[in-house]
Amino acid sequence: MGSTGAERAAKCVFLAAICSVCQSLQGGMLFPTESPSREVKDASGLWRFRADFSPDRNRGFEQEWYKSPLAETGPVIDMPVPSSYNDITQDAKIRDFIGWVWYEKDVWVPARWIQDRGTRIVLRVGSAHYYSVLWVNGVKVTEHVGGHLPFEADISGVLRQSNANPCRITIAVNNTLTLETLPPGTIQYMNDRTRYPAGYFVQNINFDFFNYAGIHRSVLLYTTPKVHIDDITVETTFSDNIGLVSYNVSVLGSSKPAVKVTLSAHDGRCVASANDTRGVLKVTDVNLWWPYLMHENPAYLYSMEVQATAEDGQTDVYTLPVGIRTVKVTSTQFLINNKPFYFHGVNKHEDADIRGKGFDWPLVVKDFNLIKWMGANSFRTSHYPYAEEILQMADRHGIVIIDECPGVGIKDIRSFGNASLAHHLTVMEELVRRDKNHPSVVMWSVANEPAAEMPPAGFYFKELVSHTKSLDSTRAVTYITDSNYARDLGAPYVDVICVNSYFSWYHDPGHTEIISIQLNTQFDNWYGKYKKPIIQSEYGADAVPGLHSDPPMMFTEDYQKTVLQNYHNVFDQKRKEFVIGELIWNFADFMTAQSITRVVGNKKGVFTRQRQPKAGAFLLRERYWRIANETGVLPTWARYPCQ
Ligand code: GCB
């Protein structure tokens, strides 16, 4: 298999980029919010767009498309941001495109931002898939490896120097996956000229969702004063009725900033304050952050206002919601605030018609409504970090999160090498840096179904899990296994065993009668060997909405329901022992690559892709509310449907 220019170029670009991020991360990544000292300007909307169809996908760089308006170097089309670009046009070549695409937008920057030299102007991309390079007025300001996580650049200097307003933002995004990206992938050139045209190549992947690409989350411009709060870390605990909030504030742009921290309750009353960059705030009569359906007053958030003032009087203000709660794991239980927590929830995807993985408020709010309607108390961000706004919703609604990094499809032994590990560690740092202050996040998942029985996996997961614990000792760490036989080499390092299985689907298709024996064996194998609590992190069956048969047959709603019922019978026994959760695969149908096993995507959703319930959703709803009624303290309004 020969390597062409495109492949070589892709490799060079990726290696250079990955090496540049191998060192520990510098600085924070606070969510941009407005405050008396900060302004935010959203650059979402219509951007100009062109895919680089040149044979090696490199024409944009050769012709320096960032140097002049994109429309001057070739045709452009409208492209919404945020959105995946794949399903926006009628062109299959854009849907299935692999390589560099170019986005451009002119944005007016308020004159006062530029004139006031005490103002920092930051350009921030919520996420772009996969590898991005950013220019402002033709000057490169940053690059970033990896989708699903934010990146930003201080563009004050470039804006003041070029003096061009509106400023022209250009973003080139490449969705090529290699053995060292997360998720990994390979580019395969088809060199048999009797079967494929010259230059024909495909992207191979080992994961089961469409590799949507583009600018998936908002592009923002925001300001801070020169003295600015760069990062805040909070860790919480409590003793009796006293809540303790350890905080650490990092301030840049001043050698001796004065820092003031104020914690306020819902009614605005100040409950604790301090005047230092780090310390512990004591909250008497604390209101703990409780999960939905576990307490009468769930999801209580305090508001922590941080003020940093420089010697010249310039002040920055940032406000962070803070939930006070603890997480502990024993050999049979998962404890939130020292009370057993049972995960009855879902696995999700960021996925919808037309916009693909583009952030969309109506979809986010609808999904939370459905989650609460079902009586679910948790979800896993399978198979990558979700938008920050989704975690903020989870904080506010008390939905518990297992926060997963994009380590999905690590099946090739070459993806366990040093370069892959270095990148994986960096991604975990980026994830923890972004999500460390969310009370909803109780566990980090470092990977999904890696080939963890391969010899290098022992070292790989030891490093990955221990590094994640060194970044955050207040949460549990796991990865998701698909072994029924407890053969993983990474398992000794995790706190909770999360196991996926598809009995009567991928194994013994059509035979739901074997679920009980096989699931019991799976649980006993894992618990017998590791004595750690277990979550059934995936189980399910495809159901094409509207298909029925009795007795049930595969792909009908009835079969999906029967599979679920058989799993539930075993869960109900084992949750009295060491099973601490069940997460259905999947919340909703979602798009995948085309294959002979997928009918326009994966149909294991209990909701359709348009969020209409299948029979399985009603079954889960009965079950989840019943479990909540047994285990939680429900407010009267929440007693439906089992009084
Ligand atoms: C799995 C994967 C998930 C797939 C699912 C399936 O084990 O973790 O990404 O979509 O199975 O439906 O095959």
CA separation for the pair 582, 565 (Å, rounded): 12
AA letter at 606: V
pLDDT digit string, tens, across residues 91-118: 999 999 999 999 999 999 999 999 999 9
Determine the average pLDDT of the residues in 388-402: 98
Q: Are strands 378-380 and 400-404 parallel, antiparallel or unpaired?
A: parallel
Closest CA to 539 of 569, 495, 578, 496: 569
Q: How many CA atoms lie within 13 A of 361 on its CB side?
A: 1
Neighbours of 599 (CB within 10 A): 13
Sheet containing 242-252, strands listed edge to edge, beginning at the edge strand earlier in sequence: 228-239, 242-252, 278-283
Determine the average pLDDT of the residues in 46-55: 98
Determine the average pLDDT of the residues in 179-203: 97
Q: Is 296 a catalytic residue?
A: no
What element of type H or E holds 120? Answer: strand 119-125
Asked if residues 586 and 347 have their Cβ atoms less than 8 Å apart, the reply is yes
Q: Looking at residue 635, what is its pLDDT?
A: 64
Determine the average pLDDT of the residues in 599-610: 98
CA separation for the pair 260, 98 (Å, rounded): 49
The 10 Å CB-count burial string (b at 16+, else e) for 480-517 is bbbbbebebbbbebbbbbbbbbbbbbeeeeeebeebee
Q: Looking at residue 572, what is its pLDDT?
A: 98
Closest CA to 30 of 217, 251, 235, 243: 251
CA separation for the pair 214, 204 (Å, rounded): 19
Q: Looking at residue 115, what is its pLDDT?
A: 95
AA letter at 193: R
AA letter at 483: S
SS3 state of residue 226: coil
Query: What is the biggest distance separating any 2 CA atoms in the chain, rounded to whole angstroms?
Result: 78
Q: Where are the alpha helices (DSSP H) in 143-266?
A: 156-162
SS3 state of residue 247: strand
500 CB less than 6 Å from ligand 1? yes
What element of type H or E holds 364? Answer: helix 361-374
pLDDT band at 638 (very low <50, low <70, confident <90, very high): low
pLDDT digit string, tens, across residues 223-240: 999 999 999 999 999 999
φ and ψ at residue 607, rounded to 5 degrees: -115, 155
Asked if residues 132 and 144 have their Cβ atoms less than 8 Å apart, the reply is yes
Nearest CA owner, ligand 1 atom 3: 208
Q: Which atom, in ligand 1's list, is nearest to the CA of 542? A: 12
CA separation for the pair 303, 266 (Å, rounded): 8
Percentage of residues in the chain having pLDDT higher than 70: 94
CA separation for the pair 204, 538 (Å, rounded): 24
| Vertex 465 angle, CA 463 and 467, to 5° | 65
Could you tell me which residues are beta bridge partners of residue 128? 215
AA letter at 127: S
Question: Mean pLDDT of all residues in the chain?
Answer: 95
Query: Which burial class, exposed, middle or buried, applies to 429 when counting CB atoms under 10 A from its CB (0-12, 13-18, 19+)?
Result: middle
Residue with tokens 């000794």: 492
Residue with tokens 């509207």: 546
From the candidates 449, 538, 557, 582, which is the catalytic residue? 449
Q: Looking at residue 643, what is its pLDDT?
A: 38
Pocket probe for ligand 1: among 206, 207, 208, 539, the residue whose CB has the most ligand atoms within 8 Å is 208
Asked if residues 358 and 351 have their Cβ atoms less than 8 Å apart, the reply is no
Cα-Cα-Cα-Cα dihedral sign, residues 27, 33, 38, 44: positive
Nearest CA owner, ligand 1 atom 7: 500
How far apart are the CA of 591 and the centre of ligand 1, in A? 12
What element of type H or E holds 445? Answer: strand 441-448
585 CB less than 6 Å from ligand 1? yes
Q: Is the pLDDT of residue 537 over 70?
A: yes
CA separation for the pair 478, 492 (Å, rounded): 10
350 CB less than 6 Å from ligand 1? no
First to last CA, the chain: 65
pLDDT digit string, tens, across residues 334-351: 999 999 999 999 999 999
Pocket probe for ligand 1: among 500, 505, 554, the residue whose CB has the most ligand atoms within 8 Å is 500
604 CB less than 6 Å from ligand 1? yes
Q: Is the pLDDT of residue 492 over 80?
A: yes
Percentage of residues in the chain having pLDDT higher than 90: 93
pLDDT digit string, tens, across residues 553-595: 999 999 999 999 999 999 999 999 999 999 999 999 999 999 9
CA distances from 598 to 143, 542, 557, 592, 617 (A): 35, 9, 16, 7, 21
CA separation for the pair 529, 270 (Å, rounded): 50
pLDDT band at 639 (very low <50, low <70, confident <90, very high): low
Structure tokens at 220: 């923002």
SS3 state of residue 183: coil
632 CB-near residues (< 8 Å, 6+ apart): 293, 294, 295
Our measurement of the distance from residue 466's CA atom to the centroid of its chain's CA atoms, rounded to an integer in Å, reads 20
448 CB less than 6 Å from ligand 1? yes
SS3 sequence of 459-486:
HHHHHHHHHHHHHCCCCEEEEEECCCCC
117 CB-near residues (< 8 Å, 6+ apart): 160
Q: Looking at residue 245, what is its pLDDT?
A: 98
Q: Where are the alpha helices (DSSP H) in 499-590?
A: 515-530, 557-574
Nearest CA owner, ligand 1 atom 4: 208
Q: Which atom, in ligand 1's list, is nearest to the CA of 448? A: 8
Asked if residues 365 and 330 have their Cβ atoms less than 8 Å apart, the reply is no
Q: Is the pLDDT of residue 85 over 60?
A: yes
Q: Are strands 131-136 and 167-174 parallel, antiparallel or unpaired?
A: antiparallel
How far apart are the CA of 208 and the centre of ligand 1, in A? 6
Structure tokens at 255: 């050698």
Q: Looking at residue 637, what is its pLDDT?
A: 60
341 CB-near residues (< 8 Å, 6+ apart): 291, 294, 334, 335, 377, 400, 442, 580
Structure tokens at 464: 């990955």
Query: Which burial class, exposed, middle or buried, applies to 408 when counting CB atoms under 10 A from its CB (0-12, 13-18, 19+)?
Result: buried
Peptide bond into 511 cis (omega under 30): no
Q: Looking at residue 376, what is its pLDDT?
A: 98
Q: Looking at residue 544, what is its pLDDT?
A: 98
